[in-house]
């Protein structure tokens, strides 16, 4: 069953193919005989109530000296496409939200969009985890500096983070009594050094010492966990395990607790049409639910001989076959 598979992503010329999960998806789609089409954020439009995109034919290959080739881009109605892989990296800002709205128009016209654009609007990656408090360490979401200071004092040590970052950016580890706490909170509450006057939400989580063993990324495909996680282990004096912050990735089997956490979350992921998700787990606790463009498939594939994107395309093809047979 040959499909047309469009991808909305950050510029493909700038990716690191050895670690890029979107690239793995494209390789798998091409291996299965699907036609690839490429677009970036500026390539979406709505004309007379119908979603359009400026799409370029794409071919990919496992070659670090030249991993893609693009044909001539042309505008076409997205209803002509079978699948859109929505893989734009955070931040989930206003422009990203508008992209999801355009892709909801395409979805209503029959296009399969992965992940579901409505879910991407509804489920902030930091806040969505709060729907599963039984899985989380003590956590506070607040715009109030005094409230956040009390949380740090209560728990002795905490991690502070903004709601719209990725790759460990803007995350602080702080202890009660730290003379820098006010400065950290001012920076986060203002949305960074160049933020506006409106206070921003800040998430505070009790520090989990098991971060020394790694911040585990558990990939979940249509509610089913990949049996191994990538533990992203902090290096040197760094407390963040994110690979983008210099963490070292080490594959580990899922624990019984990991599987319990997945079982708590999976029914809601399925209900919302979140087919490719990355759960972040430190020790016994869920910390984030990554749904915009979760990564780590390539590292796990390499270490354990898996084909995680193959699992995803099994789900996509089964879904489309069901639609066509209905």
Please tell me the predicted confidence (pLDDT) of residue 193.
46
CB 240 within 8 A of CB 168: yes
Phi-psi region of 149 (alpha: psi -120 to 50; beta: other; left: phi over 0): alpha
CA distances from residue 75 to 37, 44, 111 in whole angstroms, order as listed: 11, 9, 16
Q: Give the chain's radius of gyration (CA, Å).
A: 20
Contact (Cβ atoms closer than 8 angstroms) between residue 21 and residue 7: no
> Residue 69 contacts by C-beta under 8 Å, 6 or more apart in sequence?
58, 59, 60
Whether 30 and 52 have beta carbons less than 8 Å apart is answered as no
Query: How do strand 202-206 and strand 215-221 relate by DSSP bridges?
Result: unpaired
Q: Which residues lie below 8 Å from residue 317, measured CB to CB, with a gap of 6+?
A: 1, 3, 32
Vertex 305 angle, CA 301 and 309, to 5°: 45
So which residues are the catalytic ones? 126, 161, 217, 232, 240, 280, 288, 290
Tell me the CA distances in angstroms from 157 to 134, 170, 174, one per residue in order.
Answer: 21, 17, 6
| H or E, element range at 153 | helix 145-155
Taking the CA atoms of residue 302, residue 294, residue 162 and residue 205 in that order, the dihedral angle to the nearest 10 degrees is: -70
By the 10 Å C-beta count (0-12 exposed, 13-18 middle, 19+ buried), 181 is classed as: buried
- Could you tell me what percent of the chain has a pLDDT over 70? 94
Whole-number pLDDT of residue 50? 98
- pLDDT tens digits, 127-136: 999 999 999 9
Predicted TM-score (pTM) of this structure:
0.92
Q: What confidence tier does 166 reach under pLDDT thresholds 50, 70, 90?
A: low
pLDDT for res 325: 86
* Span 302-307, average pLDDT: 97
pLDDT of 1 = 79
For range 204-214, the mean pLDDT: 93
pLDDT beyond 90 at 191: no
Phi/psi of residue 170, each to 5°?
75, 15
Buried b (16+ CB within 10 A) or exposed e, 206-223: bbbeebeebbbbbbbbbb
* pLDDT surpassing 80 at residue 88: yes
């Amino acid at each position: 069953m040959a499909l047309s598979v469009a991808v909305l992503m950050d510029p493909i010329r700038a990716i690191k193919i050895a670690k890029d999960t979107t690239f793995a998806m494209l390789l798998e789609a091409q291996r299965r005989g699907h036609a690839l089409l490429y677009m970036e954020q500026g390539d979406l439009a709505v004309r007379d109530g119908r979603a359009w995109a400026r799409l370029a034919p794409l071919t990919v290959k496992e070659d670090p000296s030249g991993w893609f080739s693009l044909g001539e881009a042309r505008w076409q109605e997205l209803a002509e496409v079978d699948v859109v892989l929505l893989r734009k990296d955070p931040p989930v800002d206003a422009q990203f939200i508008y992209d999801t709205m355009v892709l909801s128009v395409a979805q209503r016209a029959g296009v399969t969009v992965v992940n579901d654009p409505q879910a991407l609007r509804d489920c902030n990656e930091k806040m969505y985890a709060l729907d599963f408090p039984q899985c989380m360490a003590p956590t506070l979401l607040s715009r109030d500096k005094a409230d956040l200071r009390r949380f740090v004092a209560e728990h002795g040590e905490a991690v502070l983070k903004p709601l719209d970052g990725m790759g460990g950016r803007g995350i602080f580890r702080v202890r009660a009594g730290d003379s820098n706490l006010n400065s950290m909170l001012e920076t986060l509450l203002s949305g960074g050094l160049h933020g506006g006057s409106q206070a921003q939400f800040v998430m505070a989580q009790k520090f989990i010492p098991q971060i020394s063993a790694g911040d585990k990324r558990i990939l979940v495909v249509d509610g089913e966990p990949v049996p191994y996680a990538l533990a992203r282990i902090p290096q040197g004096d760094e407390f963040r395990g994110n690979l983008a912050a210099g963490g070292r990735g080490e594959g580990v089997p899922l624990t019984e607790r990991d599987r319990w956490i997945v079982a708590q979350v999976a029914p809601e992921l399925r209900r919302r049409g979140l087919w490719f998700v990355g759960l972040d787990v430190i020790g016994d606790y869920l910390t984030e639910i990554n749904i915009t463009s979760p990564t780590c498939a390539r590292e796990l594939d390499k270490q354990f001989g898996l084909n995680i994107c193959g699992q995803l395309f099994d789900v996509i093809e089964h879904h489309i076959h069901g639609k066509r047979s209905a």
